Amino acid sequence: MLGAFAYLENVSSKPLYNEIKMYIEKDSIKKLVNEFTSQTIGLENPEGLCFLTCFPISILLEIHQIHNSISCGDAPKNNSFVNHCWITLDNEETIIDPTIRQFDSNMESTYIGKLEENKVTKKYIPINAHYQEWFVTTYNNWAEPLIGKQPRTYREPGFENKMNLINIKTAIVLYSYISKMETKNQIMSSFKCYRYFSPIFKFIKDKSETDNKFILNLKDEMPKNFDLLLSIALSK
């Protein structure tokens, strides 16, 4: 990586410099996102996992000082349209879609580029609504099953339980990144982290009080940092 930036110092053309710099940055971001998703959803079909995946990745990018926002819209699928989330970087031209494979299994696990430059993403229709309007609804749909509500009753039996387990696993992986940062306490106290971890901590704490067998099984199934996340959840 350092060698790549050292090479840039010898590039005299400003437009070429910017183009190469953007390529290197995009490649580094893609590697970071792929490293994260390989530990969370792996090679699983990411259908229904877009917000679940984009929310923690948005936090992951921010702790690496990569400013971004979560975007939402409609995407064509099976002769219809489904709600879909992706991440938009500061320039509002480059997007990151870590669950693009749900629309085309032949795609790489992460797409990073412009909406119009990919055969899948160019069909996305960004939502025509204020960010807070759609985000609150989407967030609540994601969080409510974790806090004991079941708003998505149209889902097949077992869907919410599966989502809750993936949420816990994803939170463990995200916290493993945060715990390595010198400013981990400041990061965890940020509003975005509070909003993300709060329903997950509540789910874990409630389960620990009502279903000890469930927690013991989690210790066997989850990544090694589960005990650390459990201790934080129980302290809340």
- Summarize pLDDT for 143-189 with one digit per residue, the tens: 999 998 765 556 677 888 899 999 999 999 999 999 999 999 999 99
Asked if 151 and 97 touch (Cβ cutoff 8 Å), the reply is: no
- Residue 90 in domain: no
Residue 102 backbone dihedrals phi, psi, to 5 degrees: -70, -20
- Residue 190 in domain: yes
Asked if 53 and 98 touch (Cβ cutoff 8 Å), the reply is: yes
Q: Which structural domain, as residue segments, surrounds residue 162? A: 158-236
Strands 111-114 and 125-126: unpaired
What's the whole-model pTM score? 0.88
- Residue 196 in domain: yes
- Residue 1 in domain: no
**Total domain count, the chain:** 1
Closest CA to 69 of 99, 39, 91: 91
Is residue 5 pLDDT above 50, yes or no? Answer: no
- Residue 221 in domain: yes
Q: What is the CA radius of gyration of the chain?
A: 19
